[in-house]
Structure 1
Amino acid sequence: MGKVAGRKKRIIITTAALVALGGGAAIAYWTAAGVGDTTTTAGTSTNFTITSTHTGGALSPDGPVQTFTFTVANPGTGVQKLTNITAAVAGTNGAAWTAAGGCSAADFTVGTPSFTPTEIAAGASITGTVTLQMIDRPGVNQDGCKAATVPLHFSAS
């Protein structure tokens, strides 16, 4: 029995020593500090898209008025404010337009666009109207405007 008691005593002493050493390591620690920064980029506005259709007879000097119904859509991912719409007889991107034969923007008058300034939600749209009429220019031969395709340029902001 002496061997067993001695062996038990060594196991108990060894275990106590390991616990004491392990317990001492458990209370040791490193101190640390840290900071962190991050950034994100806000989106940008997305250009409105504008489409239109018109009704009315063929244009002629002091003749019928054509009414254009236009739609301004917000293809962006957030709300965008629509405050102004302009319409003019002009080429692509608002460039000056002159049809073959001398017909020009000076032969037409464009009314003031009718719409309600508003915020347009993402994916939504609003509609409005504007008129176009060929004017009579006394003393000016307007034959160049016969059968001309007249471009109407819209701009929204």
Structure 2
Amino acid sequence: MAKVAGRKKRIIGTTVALVAIGGGAAFAYWTAAGTGSATTKADTSKNFTITSKITGEPLSPGGPIQTVEYTVTNPGTGVQKLSNVVVTIANDNNSAWTPTSGCSAADFQIVSPTFTPVEIAPNGGTTTGTVTLQMINRDTNQDGCKNASVPLYFSAS
């Protein structure tokens, strides 16, 4: 029986040792450190596109006012802020307009648009506005402006 009791003691001792070792392994861990990075590229802003439509009677000295409705479109993939729209009488490349002798941009008056800066949604989002155009009645002969096509140049920022 002493053999059996000694054997039981060894089994119990071995079990206790294995539990202690196994229990200790449950609390073991590795420490580690690491770094990483990623780089992406933000898109650039896309130029607004502007379309317009003119309504009203033909211009004449001191005559009717024409209304120019314009639409500013955001072709970009992100929201873009429209802070200002400036309209001038100029060619489509913003060069000075001189149609013929006896007529110039000084014969016309543009009332600049007034609006609150706005964020335009991406992928074709739009905002609209209006400006007015009138031919000024000057104390000179303005026959040079008869049948003149007056180009308007829009600049949005």
TM-score bracket for the superposition, by shorter chain length: 0.7 to 0.9
Query: Which residue of 2 is the match for residue 53 of structure 1?
Result: 53
1:67 aligns with 2:67: yes
List aligned pairs for 1:95-114, cutoff 5 A. Answer: 95-114=95-114
Q: Secondary structure at the match of 1:129?
A: strand
Query: Which residue of 2 is the match for residue 127 of structure 1?
Result: 128
List aligned pairs for 1:146-157, cutoff 5 A. Answer: 146-157=146-157
Structure 1: stretches of 5+ with no match in the other structure: 1-32
Stretch deviating more after TM superposition (55-64 or 91-100): 91-100
Checking the alignment, whether the CA contact within 8 Å between 1:50 and 1:70 is kept in structure 2 is yes
TM-score by length of structure 2 reads 0.74
Rounded Cα–Cα distance in structure 2 between residues aligned with 1:115 and 1:134: 24
Paired residues in the alignment total 124
1:117 aligns with 2:147: no
Checking the alignment, whether the CA contact within 8 Å between 1:115 and 1:127 is kept in structure 2 is no
Q: Secondary structure at the match of 2:39?
A: coil
Rounded Cα–Cα distance in structure 1 between residues aligned with 2:102 and 2:153: 19
The sequence identity of aligned pairs, in percent, is 64
Q: CA deviation at 1:141?
A: 1.8
Rounded Cα–Cα distance in structure 1 between residues aligned with 2:34 and 2:116: 53
Q: Secondary structure at the match of 1:113?
A: coil
Rounded Cα–Cα distance in structure 1 between residues aligned with 2:90 and 2:37: 50
| 1:49-92 deviation digits (Å, cap 9, x = unpaired) | 00000111111110110000100010100000011011111112
What is the aligned-residue RMSD (CA, Å)? 1.6
Q: CA deviation at 1:94?
A: 1.7
